[in-house]
Structure 1
Amino acid sequence: MNFRLIKLILLLAVFGSVSCKSNKASNTLVVEPNQTEVSKQPNIIVLLCDDLGYGDLSSFGHPIIKTENLDKLASTGIKLTNFYSTAPVCSPSRAGLLTGRSPNRAGIYDFIPGIKKSPDNRDLVHLQAHEQTIPAMLKSVGYATCLVGKWHCSSRFNSDIQPQPNDFGFDHWFATHNNAAPSHQNPNNFVRNGEEVGEIEGFSSQIIVREAINWLNNKKDNKPFFLEVTFHEPHEPIASPEDLVQKYLPFAKNREQAEYFANVENVDLAVGRLISYLKEKNLDNTLIVFSSDNGPETLLRYGEKARHSYGSPGVLKGMKLWTNEAGFRVPGIVNWIGKETFSGTSDKVVSALDLLPTFAELSGAKLPDRILDGESFVSLLNTGDFNRTKPLIWAFYDAINERMVAMRHGDYKIMARLDVDNKPVANFHNLYDGNIDYIKSAKLTDFVLFNLKNDISESEDISKTEPEIFQEMKAEFEIQYKNLLDGSHVWVRNE
């Protein structure tokens, strides 16, 4: 199957209102916006960490780790204290960010393993060709696009059997399937535009920023750009520069913790290099968004391979793989270099789902003609005010905590267990033809309700003390979950 041709057809259909022509030689869209449009469109950079906890930056309260560059982005831009990833684990979180849709709609429910055949059809899982993404949308209005870092949106990486980053709008990609291997130091599993690169000397965060800078240097046009920088850090297997490890050893419990602290600072230093480059080149119309794909990993959750996992949830309850706050409430920073915007700390509820519609409004791109779960937060940039109308809902069927489904709406968050015949649903990785009827028969039960404005740590269930609010939230919750489940993709082998 020629996924590039499929994407061309979809781009023409979905973004057909843009003035463009077809380049038959390369089978791609060539968009020709006028110079006035180009000058107004911001460059956009998304910086995404892997397993960075809510409390892992010094600007978000870490008492030891130094993150001076990110802290400066926060202090001169917008520090988002209510920013949410789209899932509490990597693959669905990334799919949700790229599409502006709950990852359940795309059929990505858990992290995507390799290609080993499994009875639950998990080996089939990938971001499908019909999904419209941020880079494809921005290309339709003249952007150059680049991905550097971790991909993790397909079970068959760098294969013609499934779509790859270039099939979703990335002009240039330099990526790994999942983690940097054998560790962040001297990784050997990067692929550049379909070609294996081999071992690269250095540390992953610095390597991918160097690639990003090289791509920017080699751009031969004045197109605005979209750059997604997806750090592997601080996900295991961790490796950090020895000088930074030595810096933290006097303040750490052990060497492994010092290596974790150093790992986070190494990302900060890489971010600093990129910002310095932007300033050096006077790229002063550049919007930067920084966040994490999910919360911090639990120490030793999968044995010695997680021995460096000293990430901090801060004041939040839970960790990665939880539907409590620490699973998907993550640091959020927005900074528009060269443009005056609202500046300061904001407690407005913002999600990675909101990036696609926000970038559409800023770039003049047409939104994909499909259900979106995100909303534009351009008003937050302009005035500091943003009040989302769409609830945020998560259905994570492999949750460590017992309540797999959660919804935030306004100041309140409601959570529930899924039961079939009065028994909790067992954890599962994928929704497929063998379990869809079972899951659709499950009922939401054992509800709890929290006022997150007053109780960020989810310590007091107010479902009984605030019965009217509880009934309103419960009714909305049941509607939202049913709609999400009805719209979730079911994987069928040989479909």
Structure 2
Amino acid sequence: MWKSTFWLVLAVLFSLPCRSVSAIDRGPEHPNVILVFIDDMGWTDLSCFDGQGPRTQHIDQLASEGIRFTQFYVNSPICSPSRVAISTGQYPQRWRITSYLNNRRSNRERGMAQWLDVKAPMLARELQRAGYATGHFGKWHMGGQRDVDNAPPITAYGFDQSLTNFEGMGAKLLPLTMQPGWEKPGRIWQKAVRLGEPVTWMQRSEITGGFVEAALKFIDQAQADKKPFYVNVWPDDVHAPFFPPLEKWKDGRRALYHGVLDALDEQLAALFNRIRNDEELRRQTLIVLCSDNGHDVGAGSSDPLRGGKTWLYEGGIRSPLITWGPGLLAKEKTGTVNEESVFCALDLNRSLYDICHVNVPKNAKLDGENLAETLLGHSKQSRQSPIFWRRPPDRPGFGHGYDEDNPDLAVRDGQWKFTVNYDGSSPQLYDLSEDAAETNNLVDANPKVADRLHKAIREWNSELPRDAGDQSSD
């Protein structure tokens, strides 16, 4: 039943008028880009990153034909600000999105915006202006959730088409839930219907496949129109609650998580195979795959890194990254691992402008650096500027799986990682080239390094709007 409804939704969705833009040359200078942004997946959950869970064979194949990066970072340990950073190329604190977007009252109490300002620079918008077909399929979570029902539609940010979940405005897929022993499925997030229609209800365990099907239809149309495309495929897997297919159901939180991860991998296969098996698309398409933040504690894994989702230790902010593109990547780098280059999602955003030969938006100061040659395997250059983080205001520590303080601020600069609280307490300095697990605090042994990084992070933070997490005095 849901399949017929789903295809009806797609028919309505793709009958909507697209922005009229002129097609541009489909040569390799304007490659297609697919960004797969997985939700709450740990640094070592994929088997190609030494994961101990299910064999993620389809993502593993992508990695075996591309490049894996082990020192890639996202710019927040929690979803909404991480998504803002990779979309805008700017620190999310600039736009007052520093934790997950919730209901209106909660957002105000935490000193946050209700949604991403449409004036923010958007990679999708600039690609759209340059003639790309742009589509977003999956979780949004940058505005339009809970009772925030007047946020801008996803299309206002530069997308021709969108299909989302319960945390975005517009057409959506909503989850039915099922587990062994139930006579009929349940429903969650029913109130999200108010955030836009048409709505398709489908099994939670199959929704990634629904987003993939919609993305493939969009890709087919772009190819028929001879237009390059930029597509977000942002599943809400592997985020809790966990409802894997019944045949993958096992007892225990981690086992359920592994069942969802296994199903995610299987459902992404159709997307990867569509591109891989079409000679034109294979030659002209770049696929980028990473996670929005670290693992949910007790479910995924980032071993041997310290911390997980919401934490400023490595397990919360370091993400697996895979780039794939036989017509774009250095051929001698196929199947290799880059363990040297240190960079972040801000740099990924900035680099895609260069890879797609599209101008950076005027009057927008991006925080990312152009590392296109690194992403494509022609260089191992790292980001030159430090990477800074601020903890989510609602995550001070001593909870969410760990009985310790969550540092308020963090910075990575070369081999060094420094964390500290707003009031200067609990300074920690780690040499990540020797201590990725952040176990040996070197503050006392390297006071000049600690002082330099402490000054840098205080200056960075002082230039940005505060949120409710900062209770320090001026």
Contact 1:106–1:127 (CA under 8 A) maintained in structure 2 = yes
Contact 2:66–2:329 (CA under 8 A) maintained in structure 1 = no
Greater displacement, 43-52 / 118-127: 118-127
Contact 1:183–1:239 (CA under 8 A) maintained in structure 2 = no
SS at match of 1:195: coil
Rounded to whole Å, the distance in 1 between the matches of 2:288 and 2:458 is 32
2:446 to 452, 455, 466: 466
Give the counterpart letter for 2:367 in structure 1.
Answer: D
Verify: 1:345 aligned to 2:337, yes or no: yes
State the partner residue of 1:19.
none
The structural deviation recorded for 1:359 is 1.1
The structural deviation recorded for 1:293 is 0.7
1:333 to 292, 301, 322: 322
1:257 to 247, 254, 257: 254
Rounded to whole Å, the distance in 1 between the matches of 2:349 and 2:468 is 21
Contact 1:405–1:416 (CA under 8 A) maintained in structure 2 = yes
Verify: 1:146 aligned to 2:138, yes or no: no
State the partner residue of 1:200.
202
The structural deviation recorded for 1:133 is 0.9
Alpha-carbon spacing, 1:260–1:467, altered in 2? closer, same or farther (3 Å): same
State the partner residue of 1:392.
387
CA deviation vs aligned residue, 1:21-48 (integer Å, no higher than 9, x gap): xxxx979562453x2x655211001001
Verify: 1:418 aligned to 2:422, yes or no: yes
Contact 2:141–2:167 (CA under 8 A) maintained in structure 1 = yes
| TM, length-normalised to structure 1 | 0.78
Any residues of structure 2 matched to 1:185-334 within 5 Å, and which? 194-201=196-203, 203-219=206-222, 220-245=224-249, 254-282=251-279, 283-284=281-282, 285-299=284-298, 310-334=299-323
Alpha-carbon spacing, 1:193–1:69, altered in 2? closer, same or farther (3 Å): farther
Rounded to whole Å, the distance in 1 between the matches of 2:129 and 2:165 is 26
SS at match of 2:368: coil
Contact 2:134–2:229 (CA under 8 A) maintained in structure 1 = yes
State the partner residue of 2:38.
49
CA deviation vs aligned residue, 1:356-406 (integer Å, no higher than 9, x gap): 211110112111222211112112124232121121101123332331100
Rounded to whole Å, the distance in 2 between the matches of 1:158 and 1:211 is 27
2:461 to 473, 481, 489: 481
Rounded to whole Å, the distance in 2 between the matches of 1:72 and 1:414 is 36
Any residues of structure 2 matched to 1:73-152 within 5 Å, and which? 73-115=62-104, 120=109, 124-152=113-141
Give the counterpart letter for 1:351 in structure 2.
Answer: C
The structural deviation recorded for 1:324 is 0.6
Rounded to whole Å, the distance in 2 between the matches of 1:27 and 1:76 is 34
Rounded to whole Å, the distance in 2 between the matches of 1:104 and 1:474 is 19
Contact 1:140–1:365 (CA under 8 A) maintained in structure 2 = no
Contact 1:158–1:164 (CA under 8 A) maintained in structure 2 = no
The structural deviation recorded for 1:296 is 1.1
Verify: 1:71 aligned to 2:74, yes or no: no
Contact 1:157–1:164 (CA under 8 A) maintained in structure 2 = no
Greater displacement, 142-151 / 216-225: 216-225
Name the % identity.
27
State the partner residue of 2:10.
none
Give ranges in structure 1 of 5+ residues lacking alignment: 1-24, 300-309, 420-443, 491-495
Rounded to whole Å, the distance in 1 between the matches of 2:227 and 2:215 is 16
SS at match of 2:389: strand
Give the counterpart letter for 1:393 in structure 2.
Answer: F
Contact 1:31–1:139 (CA under 8 A) maintained in structure 2 = no
SS at match of 2:385: coil
Alpha-carbon spacing, 1:59–1:156, altered in 2? closer, same or farther (3 Å): closer
CA deviation vs aligned residue, 1:266-294 (integer Å, no higher than 9, x gap): 11112221111112333121111111111
CA deviation vs aligned residue, 1:191-228 (integer Å, no higher than 9, x gap): 89942323135611111111111222233411110010
Alpha-carbon spacing, 1:148–1:244, altered in 2? closer, same or farther (3 Å): same
Contact 1:321–1:398 (CA under 8 A) maintained in structure 2 = no
Give the counterpart letter for 1:346 in structure 2.
Answer: N
Rounded to whole Å, the distance in 2 between the matches of 1:145 and 1:57 is 28
Give the counterpart letter for 1:361 in structure 2.
Answer: D
CA RMSD after TM alignment: 2.9
Contact 2:174–2:201 (CA under 8 A) maintained in structure 1 = no
Any residues of structure 2 matched to 1:420-435 within 5 Å, and which? none
CA deviation vs aligned residue, 1:440-489 (integer Å, no higher than 9, x gap): xxxx3331111111100000111111233223323323322323458x89
Count of residues in correspondence between the two structures: 422
